[in-house]
Each structure stands twice: as structure tokens, then as C-alpha cells.
Amino acid sequence: MLDIKLFRTEPELIKENIKKKFQDEKLPLVDEVVAMDKEYRATKTKADEYRAKRNKLSKEIGGLMAKGQKEEAEKVKAEVKMIGEEMPKLEAREAELEEEIRKRMMVIPNIIDPSVPIGKDDSENVEIEKFGDPFVPEFEVPYHVDIMEKLGGIDLDSARQTSGNGFYYLKGDIARLHSAILSYARDFMIDRGFTYFIPPFMIRSAVVNGVMSFSEMENMMYKIEGEDLYLIGTSEHSMIGKFIDTITPESELPQTLTSYSPCFRKEVGAHGIEERGVYRIHQFEKQEMIVVCKPEDSKSWYDKLWQNSVDFFRTLDIPVRTLECCSGDLADLKVKSCDVEAWSPRQKKYFEVGSCSNLGDAQARRLGIRIKGENGNYFAHTLNNTVVAPPRMLIAFLENNLNEDGSIRIPQPLRMYMGGKDTIAVPEK
């Protein structure tokens, strides 16, 4: 949510930003906010004047009565009564305008960083840099589910019976590998100075509305029927929500956190849920990184965060690249974002395994996350990034570590979490 002062001083800047995001249908909202804000301030000023006048006149009544000036006191009482009758109307209009302004401001996108490339959708995202050499083995790389099934590591049929499409059973060494990757990711981030958290897996609507746009919420979040609770789509939701209505001293910043959680998503939209596969699913697990910092530090933290993901994947010998998200591919709250994509030897192309985002002060404004500075309080900046999100990451891992006989190499960093194993072998029939 933008600062209302920006609507008062630079409405054309907001409109230009909306155009850059190809959301022209939202342009009229800017003028509506400007007009409503003008009326709101005039109404509030009048209400404040009435309150002050009522307080002053109420004090005068006692003095007049004490002097025996009953007639004059009655006239003042009549004026106080008139003000009393007008006040509820003014206060109701004030509250109505405030709500209508907020409703519009909640759907107007954040101002994007000048470095963001302009484009309509993800097809116009821009490659930034590649890390590691993409490799295609001489033998054919099977589909990831076929690799897992050969290793006795996945059961999709049973999951369809219990839960439907978009769910899975992992088992044996594949399930252990899944857990090993998350454990390694946890320790990797702790070693980089981040504090480890396991957050609540459900959050209230006030937090949901604070951390994401309405369209994202509708397409992602599962609502708990009969309760003001939603299942989280990522631990970022809980972790940013942790700071709701707080004032953090500058001396305690930055807050650098890494959190584990299961994630639950409807995955409504163009892509849909896969019938056979674990790339786009309703349930998965993830290690996340979150930073709350001073505004002047958010750009440098953004670079540090995506670099953490790149470094993590490179320690497992998985080639990756970073892709700058264009204006039309940015969610409304984001100032800047990039995807980390891993190499797929089977598809001979990269695919998304994580996303790094700088949200500026958008979440902080919605949730009241403030910093206590020497010259007063101000809004923090928030950032988030995926460390790793298996089982999607398993696709890249399995394809890049597959041997011709169907076995899987275990890189050195994961072996301590796999009981010392250096290979997942194909079970004997």
C-alpha cells in the first residue's frame, strides 16, 4: 500500500507505474483516491472543529448557569445539541471515506524499482546471469516421477485415493533425501547468520491481507471453514506477520530469519495442478529466508538473498541462473523480484526453483511494522527469498545427479544427513 501523501503530491507517478504494470483498468482508482482523500480531510477538519467547539461551549454552559444567565445558557445548549446531531453524520462519513480509500489503495500496485524491465508477463523476464555449466548426459534422462518410481520412492496412486491430484507419498531413500535437503538448507542459512524458526502454519485474515494482494490470496490460500484462519502458502506469511504492529529499534536491525514450514496452495490459474508429477502441487515443504531492515539497506539485502540461493544450489553442483522479473510479472506489493532457475538435463532448459523479492515498505504499511529511529518512527522494508522448496527441487537434484543405471549420486554436503550414503541405489527386484 502506497503512502497517501504520494497520491496528494504525485498522482501522475502512480498512474505511470500502473501503466508500466499493464493494469490500465486501475487508473481511475487514482483519481478516486485523490477526490475521496480531499473530501475525507475536509470532513475530518469539520468534525475536529465541531468537537473543539462542543467542548468549548459545554464549558461555557456551566459558567453561564453559575452567573444566572439561564437564557444565554439555553442558547448555548441548543448549539451544543445541534453539533451533537451533526457529529454522528460527519463521523460516519469520515469512517466510510477512510474505508473506501483504503479499499482502493490496497489494489493499487507498489512503485516498482527503476531497474525493473518493462514487460507484460513472464515471457518477457530477462536473464541476468548463469552459474555453473549446464550438462546433458549421453543417456536419456527419464521424467522425474519415473526416476523416483524406479528407486521405490514415490506413490502417487495412493495419494490420489486419499487426497486427490496434487498430493504425493514420498518413501524410503527419496523421502530421506527430501528431509536431508531441508536439513542442509536449515544449517546452510544458520551458518550465514540467520536465526532459525518454525512458525505457525495458520494465520489470521489480518495477516493475510497484510502480506499479499487480494488476487494472490484468492488464487493461493486455503480458508479454514468457520474460523478466521488460513493455511499458509509459505512461511514468509507467518514470519512477516510476526512483526505486526511492532516498533523495532534501529539497533536491532536487520532481522535476518530463516524458517521451515509445510506450504499449502490452491494453485488456481493458468498452470493448474499436474496429474502426474511434483512440480505444481497443493502441498510441499520449504526453507525460506526473511529480512526486515532499514529502507536504505533493502537493495543490498536483496542481492545477498538471491546470492544465498545460488550458492546453496552450487554446493550441490546444480547449474542455476537468475532471471529478472519484468513489470507485468511482479505481484502488486513487490518493488523488485528475480527467479532462481535450475537446469533440467531432461528438458534441456532452466525451470523455476525459487523467487527473491523486495517489497519495500508495502507489507510494513499494511501491518504496521515500524522502526524506532532518532528522529521518530518510520516503516521498515521487508524481503523474502526461497532457500529451497522440495519436492520441486528434487526434480533438478535427481536429473543432475542421475547415473545411467538409475542410481543417484549424493553430493558431499548431504551425506551426513543420509547416514553417510554416497549413492541411492536402484532396489533389487
Neighbours of 409 (CB within 10 A): 14
Instruction: Give the active site residue among 259, 355, 357, 399.
Output: 355
Q: What share of the chain is helix, strand, coil (3-state, %, to 5)?
A: 45, 20, 30
Name residues whose C-beta falls within 8 Å of residue 8's C-beta, 6 or more positions apart in sequence. Answer: 34, 37
366 grid coordinates: 499494511
Q: How far apart are CA 397 and CA 317, in angstroms?
A: 9
158 is catalytic: no
Cα–Cα distance, 98 to 100 (Å, whole number) = 6
Nearest CA among 315, 323, 363 for reference residue 339: 323
Helices 298-315, 172-191: axis angle to 10 degrees equals 140
Q: What is the largest CA-CA distance in the chain?
A: 108
Q: How far apart are CA 415 and CA 183, in angstroms?
A: 11
Q: Quick one: cell of 396?
A: 533438478
Peptide bond into 391 cis (omega under 30): yes
Q: Which residue has the cell 518493462?
A: 118
CA–CA distance, 169 with 301 (Å, rounded to integer):
37
| Sheet strand arrangement including 336-344 | 126-131, 320-324, 336-344, 349-358, 381-388, 283-293, 255-264, 195-197
- Is position 324 annotated as part of the catalytic site? no
Q: Which of 321, 346, 370, 392 is catalytic?
A: 392
C-alpha cell at 98: 477512510
Q: Which of 186, 265, 365, 366 is catalytic?
A: 265
Exactly one of 41, 192, 280, 415 is catalytic; name it: 280
- For residue 288, give the C-alpha cell: 525460506
392 is catalytic: yes
C-alpha cell at 395: 526434480
Query: Of 60, 216, 274, 352, which is the active-site residue?
Result: 352
For residue 202, which phi and psi values (nearest 5 degrees)? -130, 145
Among all residues, which ones are annotated catalytic? Answer: 265, 280, 352, 355, 392
